[in-house]
Amino acid sequence: MNTIMLVCAAGMSTSLLVTKMQRAAKEKGVDVDIFAVSAGEVDSVLEKKNVDVLLLGPQVKFMKEKFEKSLSNKQMAIDSINMQYYGTMNGEKVLEQVLSLINKNS
């Protein structure tokens, strides 16, 4: 099972996207653990949980380079959520983005 963490400013706006991604994963038979956190919670969550993909919401995508540096010792894909997919809350397309990242890293 792959673990996907979505990061946004407060952790709220991505919760709807998480629900839509979980629904898309279930329909596709993909076994994933998807959850959302605020940018301030990332480090504490990563101390307790292994994450395969970290996706940044548009409002925090400026933090991508910071996370790439601070998490370089972890085997984790880090990317920004496609703004169009985020804006339309397209869980299926964001899930496809995640699966593509997982395939590149394996």
Task: State the catalytic residues.
Answer: 8
In whole angstroms, give the CA distance from residue 89 to residue 17: 5
- Reference 43, options 81, 14, 70; nearest CA is 70
Where helices occur in the chain by DSSP H, the ranges are 13-28, 42-48, 64-70, 83-87, 91-105
Is residue 1 within 8 A of residue 50, CB to CB? The reply is: no
